[in-house]
Amino acid sequence: MGRTLYDKIWDEHVIHTEEDGTSILYIDRHLVHEVTSPQAFEGLREAGRKVWRVSSIVATADHNTPTTGWEHGYDGITAYRRSKLAMVMWSFDLAAEQRVPVVSLHPGTFLDTGMVRQSGITPLGTARHGAEMVRIAAERALTGTTNIFFDELAPARCDEQAYDLSARRTLREQTDKLLSGS
């Protein structure tokens, strides 16, 4: 039986394999995501390691809507706004702790997405426009523009909580508590 594409890519990037089977891989470009990246960066932190070659990292985020708190009257738009702020706060922490370049982006207001339409809001822009803003922001991050917030293409100031170290610490503590189930 032939090797899978996954096996071929894996084998071409193994630098070293430990006796227990753990492999060290060479990766040219890292695409980090808000759902799994916190655990990966926490693992680095616990091992006392720093991110190597931070210029190879590109991040993306999907405004994940929490599945708790609906009894408090949260709606999709409020959840979206809070998750966006939480992502920016987490990104600023990541930049400070791991010295990872960060470009946070608000790609447009009420773009034509299912959530916007289901909320009864008339879209003010296209999803394609939002995707183009993400592409441009990623290009800026790769050329050295970092630790900045953009409202579409204009550098802007995010909500003040994003710059508040105490608020970011509280958010991290609450997130860790929710994720640990305690």
pLDDT in tens, 141-163: 667 666 777 788 788 888 898 88
Whole-number mean pLDDT of the chain? 77
Please give the distance of CA 29 from its chain centroid, rounded to a whole number: 15
Is 107 a residue whose pLDDT tops 60? Answer: yes
Q: Is 90 exposed, middle or buried (CB count within 10 Å of its CB: 0-12, 13-18, 19+)?
A: buried
pLDDT in tens, 15-59: 989 999 888 888 776 666 655 666 777 777 888 887 777 666 666
Lowest mean pLDDT among 66-75, 83-92, 96-105: 66-75
What pLDDT is recorded for position 134? 75
Percent over 90 (pLDDT), the chain: 5
- Look-up of token digits 């890519």: 9
Higher per-residue confidence, 119 vs 142 = 119
What pLDDT is recorded for position 167? 92
What pLDDT is recorded for position 55? 66
Q: Among 154, 50, 61, 142, which residue's Cα sits nearest to residue 101?
A: 142
Is 166 a residue whose pLDDT tops 90? Answer: yes
